[in-house]
Structure formats: structure tokens, C-alpha cells
């Protein structure tokens, strides 16, 4: 009887909530309560006092930071959904890949201001008289600064799954759905998670353009840190600029601790290795929820449901069983397919050409083409310099999880640091010392995009199998031989993804960095970025179309002739197998 009483008492203690349950529940409810005012503000009438007026009062920054953070997470949610669908289809279907990957190159090359120029009126018309229209335009603009590098990362990971694991999946008879969720998605997780963090930071880099929307006669300013910063720059309030930077730093620290640190710690489970690493990333939030009783029990049912869904015998459309196709039939289908795609492309180009021919002179075209060449030289030189600096640092950090978790918030903050904050320094310094803006404004381009290389190299080094580290150590491979034969081939697929997105992001950042304003002072560098920024401010749509078109064509050609060749080399030679 005593033993039965002790067993029942022990069972009762295990089913009762503990202190950690109350702490975790308070944390969750606090996050929801904090987000509620922000969601209410998004549904106000567009001309409501809360949306029509902005204040530089420091005490408004917490609310503005909340509104910006909600936009950022809404955009990252859409970006994740886009990545899972778009990148998977591109990786699994040869014919789809021939369209979707070049289209991704185009989308990456179109600047944020280029999207805003043609979408802001659409969203405002979609929700007339409501702030939701402007919010939709802002979220879409942030989405365009987040989605592309996530899609590139996921696509690269799906194309470089180790062949031996692929054979194991076939040996177990996994359906395409099961293979995706049990093998491919877990393999891609480390790179995708680090690119999600980079996307959040990249969204901050363009937050001013997203929240302070000015296209011709359309001028919409939404409450947020970006619009606060834009107003501070116009008013030459350096104290408010500093306050905005502090607010951004605190917000990044908060969501790093509450969201990304637990996810990074969890992603360690997906490393492809035979021996476990001695160093693992830690997270106090993860440890908090692991110690709870009721919350863990409440999460058990959804986790079981997700596990069953991942094992569901479902055939995906791109891998559905089909009848054997003769080589001649396949060639005929390819010819018809590419002819239809080519016809659609030629039709689109003809529309752009007709629009530009009636509004842009040949001399204007030559001038814009020369400016595009100037920006291209800047991008190439800056990407080369960023590679030399950040690849060794990224490898050092990625191979040491304890250091990575300390560096992670700092790297996110530096990547999120809006280039607009440096405008006062850039303008005052260039005007005071009579510096050449074509050289010194170039540094602003790479300031926000070099982190794509760092984050992807860290992701590659973090995913480097521990058993390979032990083998290289046992064989005494060190120094230059270790860099050449061990770590550089291992991280090269991740580096290519990071450099590709950094290259596209640098073109995008040129819009912000080549056309700098501080109050009434304006500094321009010769480049297509300044050309597009000036045309957007004036609402000159023919010049906007010309600048965006030239930028897109050059980026696509560069990606096709250089970066895609490197991707092919990675898939052929550098896959773990």
C-alpha cells in the first residue's frame, strides 16, 4: 500500500505544472500581448492620426519598433513559404528549373525601389482607405529583400544532398514526400536557418525604403523605425538617428534570444556526421521549455501529428509515376516547352522595348548603360574584398559553436545596420574633405551585403561533419593543405550561395548607397543605383524601367556566365558522398 501511495504521489508530481511552466507561459503570453497593439494599428484608416503623423519623440520608438518587427516577421513567414515551394520545384523539375532559376536571378536583380514603384498603387487600391494597403506594400518590399537568398540556399542544399543518403532513402522505399521531409529538408536546415537570420537583417537594411514610401506623388509613411529614421535624417537630428540604432540593436537582441538562438541550437540535430561534436550551441529559451511539464505535454500531440504527416505516403506532382517516354518524345516536348517560354520572353521584351522607345532617347540609353558598367565594377571589386576578409573569419566562427552563439547577435546587428545611419558621416566627410563620392560611397554598398558571405560560410562550417574533422586531424592535415583539401571544398557550396546573393544584394544596395541625402545635402556617385533612385524620387517611370531593365539584364548575364558555372562545379565535384 505504501509503495502504491508513493507511486501515485510521484505520478501526481509529474502531471502538475512546475515553476518552468509558469515562466514559459508568462513569456508566451507576454509576446502575444506585446504584439496585439501592433496588429490593431495595421488595420486603422489610412488617414488616422496614428498613421498620418510621425514623431521624433524617443518614447514613440518602442511602438514604432513593434510595428516594424511585425512587418519583418510577416515578410519572413511569406519568404519561408515561398522558399519551400519555389526552390523545391526548381530543384526537382528540370524543365521548371530552366525557368524558375533564371526568374529568381531576375527577381534578385530588381531593386526594392523597383518593386515599390509598380506595386504600391496596387496594394493601396487593394485595401482602399485602409492602412492594410500601405502595410501590404511595405511587407512585400521587405519580402523582396528576404526571399531570394533563402530560395537560393534551399535550392543549393536540395541539389547537393549526399548520394549515399539518397541511395539509403531509395533503399527504404521512401516516397518523394517522405524523402523531402525525412532527408532533404533536414539536410538543408542549417543553411536555411542562417539565411533566415541573414534575411531578417537584410530586411532592416532596406526598412527605410519600405516604410517611408515615396514614388512620384505617392508619399506614405508608416509608423516604424525606418520611417522614424527617415524623418530624423530629413530633420538632421543626429540624436534621433542614434536612438533609432539603439532601438534596432535591442529588437535584434530580443528576437535573437527568443527565436533564432533556440532554432540554431535545434539545427545541430541535422548535421550529417557519424560522430557527435563535443561543442553544441546553447539556448536558455530552449532549456526553459525542455524543463516544463504541461507545455511539453501540450506540444507532444502537434509534434506527433507533424511526424505522421512527414511519413504520409503522398506522391508529389513533380515525381508522380509516369509512362516511359521515348527520347524522341522528350526532345519534342522540350522543343515545344522552350519555344513557348521563348515566345513569352520575347513578347515581354517587346513590350518593354516599345515603352522605352517612345520615351527614352538613344543617348539616354547609352548614358544608363555606362552607369551600369560603373556599378558592375564596384560590385565585383567589393565582393572580392569581402571574400578575402570574411571567409577565414566565417570558418573560424562556424567550427566553434560556443563562439558562434556569442558572435551571432553582433553579426545580425551589423548586417541589419541601416546604411542610412551612415549618411551623415558620409555626406559630412565627403563635403568636408572633398573626397571622391565614386570611391567612398562604394563602401556603403558592401556594408549591408558582405554579411551574406559571412552567414553562409558560418552555416557551411557549422554543418561540416565532425568525423571529417577527426579524420583530417588523425592524418595530420594542417595549414594550407587543410584549407585547400578539407575546409574550402566543404564550405564552397555555401560560399557560392552567399556570394551570389551578396552580388545581387550589392546591386540592390547601390540604390541606397549611390544616392545619399542628409537634410538638404545630396551626394551622388556615378552608377545605375543613383540613376534609379533619382528617377524614383521624380516619379520618372521610363527612366525607372530603363534602369531596372539594364540592371536586371547585367545581373542575369553575370549569374549565367559565372555563378551558375560555379554551381554546376559544386554539384559535380563537391558533394558529400
**Residue 399 falls inside a structural domain:** yes
338 and 468 housed in the same domain:
no
pLDDT > 90? residue 83: yes
Q: How many whole angstroms separate alpha carbon 344 and alpha carbon 251?
A: 45
473 and 337 housed in the same domain:
no
335 and 453 housed in the same domain:
no
**Residue 3 falls inside a structural domain:** no
Domain count, the chain: 2
- At residue 235 the predicted structure's pLDDT band, cuts being 50, 70 and 90, is confident
Residue 222 CB neighbour total at 10 angstroms:
24
What's the domain range around 506?
A: 16-270+279-316+360-573
CATH number for the domain that contains residue 479: 1.10.3720.10
Q: Are 213 and 226 in contact (CB under 8 A)?
A: no
What is the phi/psi pair of residue 276, to 5°? -75, 145
- At residue 226 the predicted structure's pLDDT band, cuts being 50, 70 and 90, is confident
Residue 274 CB neighbour total at 10 angstroms:
9
**Residue 11 falls inside a structural domain:** no
27 and 125 housed in the same domain:
yes
368 and 337 housed in the same domain:
no
Average pLDDT over the chain reads 77
Mean pLDDT, residues 401-407 taken together: 76
Percent of the chain predicted with pLDDT > 70: 75
165 and 76 housed in the same domain:
yes
pLDDT > 60? residue 22: yes
Q: How many whole angstroms separate alpha carbon 45 and alpha carbon 63?
A: 18
**Residue 6 falls inside a structural domain:** no
**Residue 347 falls inside a structural domain:** yes
Q: How many whole angstroms separate alpha carbon 39 and alpha carbon 66?
A: 9
Please give the distance of CA 30 from its chain centroid, rounded to a whole number.
Answer: 27
| pLDDT higher at 517 or 416 | 517
118 and 241 housed in the same domain:
yes
553 and 435 housed in the same domain:
yes
Residue 163 CB neighbour total at 10 angstroms:
11
**Residue 127 falls inside a structural domain:** yes
472 and 335 housed in the same domain:
no
Query: What's the pLDDT score for residue 399?
Result: 85
Question: Which DSSP state fits 212?
Answer: E
Mean pLDDT, residues 42-58 taken together: 64
C-alpha cell read off for 372:
551600369
- At residue 51 the predicted structure's pLDDT band, cuts being 50, 70 and 90, is very low
**Residue 2 falls inside a structural domain:** no
pLDDT digits (tens, 9 = 90+) for 409-451: 777 677 666 666 666 677 777 777 888 888 888 777 777 678 8
Sign of the Cα pseudo-torsion (270, 273, 275, 277, in order): negative
pLDDT digits (tens, 9 = 90+) for 102-144: 777 767 766 665 566 667 777 777 777 677 777 888 888 888 8
Mean pLDDT, residues 29-33 taken together: 66
- At residue 12 the predicted structure's pLDDT band, cuts being 50, 70 and 90, is very low
416 and 517 housed in the same domain:
yes
- At residue 285 the predicted structure's pLDDT band, cuts being 50, 70 and 90, is confident
Pick from 335, 359, 383: which residue ends a domain? 359
Residue 273 β-bridge partners: none
Q: Are 459 and 494 in contact (CB under 8 A)?
A: yes
301 and 354 housed in the same domain:
no
Nearest to 147 by CA among 99, 212, 77: 77
Query: What's the pLDDT score for residue 133?
Result: 78
Determine whether 6 is exposed, middle or buried from the number of CB atoms within 10 Å of its CB (0-12, 13-18, 19+): exposed
**Residue 4 falls inside a structural domain:** no
Q: Are 193 and 262 in contact (CB under 8 A)?
A: no
511 and 490 housed in the same domain:
yes
Residue 218 β-bridge partners: 215
| pLDDT higher at 553 or 105 | 553
Q: Name, in order, each residue with C-beta under 8 angstroms of 32's C-beta and a sequence gap of 6 or more.
A: none
- Poorest-pLDDT segment among 212-216, 400-404, 542-546: 212-216
The angle, 0 to 180 degrees and rounded to 10, between the axes of the packed helices 541-558 and 528-538 is 150
| pLDDT higher at 51 or 78 | 78
Pick from 338, 359, 380: which residue ends a domain? 359
Amino acid at each position: 500500500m505504501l509503495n502504491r501511495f508513493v507511486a501515485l504521489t510521484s505520478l501526481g508530481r509529474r502531471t502538475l505544472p512546475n515553476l518552468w511552466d509558469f515562466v514559459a507561459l508568462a513569456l508566451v503570453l507576454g509576446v502575444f500581448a506585446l504584439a496585439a497593439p501592433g496588429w490593431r494599428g495595421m488595420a486603422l484608416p489610412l488617414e488616422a492620426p496614428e498613421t498620418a503623423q510621425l514623431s521624433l519623440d524617443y518614447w514613440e520608438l518602442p511602438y514604432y519598433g513593434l510595428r516594424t518587427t511585425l512587418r519583418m516577421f510577416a515578410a519572413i513567414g511569406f519568404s519561408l513559404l515561398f522558399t519551400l515551394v519555389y526552390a523545391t520545384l526548381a530543384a526537382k523539375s528540370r524543365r521548371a528549373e530552366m525557368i524558375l532559376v533564371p526568374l529568381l536571378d531576375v527577381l534578385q536583380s530588381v531593386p526594392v525601389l523597383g518593386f515599390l514603384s509598380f506595386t504600391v498603387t496596387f496594394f493601396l487600391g487593394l485595401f482602399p482607405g485602409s492602412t492594410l494597403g500601405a502595410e501590404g506594400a511595405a511587407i512585400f518590399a521587405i519580402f523582396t529583400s528576404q526571399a531570394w537568398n533563402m530560395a537560393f540556399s534551399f535550392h543549393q542544399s536540395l541539389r547537393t544532398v549526399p548520394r549515399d543518403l539518397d541511395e539509403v532513402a531509395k533503399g527504404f522505399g521512401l516516397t518523394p514526400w517522405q524523402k523531402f521531409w525525412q532527408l532533404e529538408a533536414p539536410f538543408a536546415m542549417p543553411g536555411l536557418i542562417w539565411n533566415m537570420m541573414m534575411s531578417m537583417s537584410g530586411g532592416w537594411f532596406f526598412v527605410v525604403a519600405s516604410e517611408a514610401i515615396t514614388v512620384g506623388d505617392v508619399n506614405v509613411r508608416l509608423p516604424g523605425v525606418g520611417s522614424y529614421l527617415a524623418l530624423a535624417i530629413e530633420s538632421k537630428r543626429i540624436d534621433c538617428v542614434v536612438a533609432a540604432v539603439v532601438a534596432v540593436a535591442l529588437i535584434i537582441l530580443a528576437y535573437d534570444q527568443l527565436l533564432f538562438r533556440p532554432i540554431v541550437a535545434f539545427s545541430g540535430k541535422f548535421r550529417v556526421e557519424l560522430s557527435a561534436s563535443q561543442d553544441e550551441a546553447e539556448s536558455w529559451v530552449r532549456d526553459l521549455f525542455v524543463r516544463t511539464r504541461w507545455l511539453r505535454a501540450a506540444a507532444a500531440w502537434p509534434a506527433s501529428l507533424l511526424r505522421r504527416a512527414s511519413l504520409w505516403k503522398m506522391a508529389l506532382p513533380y515525381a508522380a509515376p509516369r509512362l516511359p517516354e521515348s527520347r524522341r518524345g522528350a526532345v519534342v516536348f522540350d522543343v515545344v516547352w522552350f519555344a513557348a517560354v521563348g515566345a513569352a520572353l520575347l513578347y515581354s521584351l517587346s513590350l518593354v522595348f516599345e515603352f522605352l522607345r517612345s520615351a527614352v532617347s538613344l543617348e539616354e540609353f547609352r548614358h544608363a548603360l555606362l552607369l551600369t558598367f560603373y556599378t558592375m565594377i564596384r560590385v565585383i571589386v567589393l565582393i572580392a574584398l569581402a571574400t578575402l576578409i570574411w571567409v577565414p573569419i566565417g570558418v573560424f566562427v562556424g567550427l566553434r559553436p560556443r563562439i558562434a552563439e556569442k558572435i551571432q547577435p553582433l553579426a545580425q546587428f551589423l548586417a541589419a545596420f541601416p546604411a542610412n545611419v551612415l549618411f551623415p558621416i558620409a555626406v559630412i566627410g565627403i563635403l568636408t574633405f572633398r573626397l571622391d563620392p565614386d570611391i567612398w560611397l562604394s563602401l556603403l554598398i558592401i556594408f549591408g551585403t558582405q554579411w551574406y558571405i559571412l552567414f553562409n560560410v558560418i552555416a557551411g562550417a557549422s554543418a561540416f561533419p565532425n568525423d571529417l574533422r577527426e579524420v583530417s586531424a588523425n592524418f595530420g592535415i594542417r595549414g594550407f593543405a587543410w584549407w585547400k583539401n578539407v575546409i574550402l571544398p566543404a564550405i564552397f557550396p555555401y560560399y557560392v550561395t552567399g556570394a551570389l546573393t551578396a552580388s545581387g544584394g550589392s546591386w540592390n544596395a547601390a540604390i541606397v548607397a549611390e544616392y545619399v541625402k542628409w537634410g538638404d545635402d545630396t551626394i551622388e556617385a556615378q552608377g545605375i543605383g543613383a540613376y534609379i533612385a533619382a528617377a524614383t524620387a521624380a516619379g520618372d517611370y521610363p527612366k525607372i524601367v530603363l534602369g531596372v531593365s539594364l540592371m536586371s539584364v547585367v545581373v542575369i548575364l553575370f549569374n549565367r556566365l559565372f555563378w551558375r558555372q560555379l554551381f554546376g562545379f559544386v554539384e559535380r565535384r563537391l558533394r558529400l558522398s
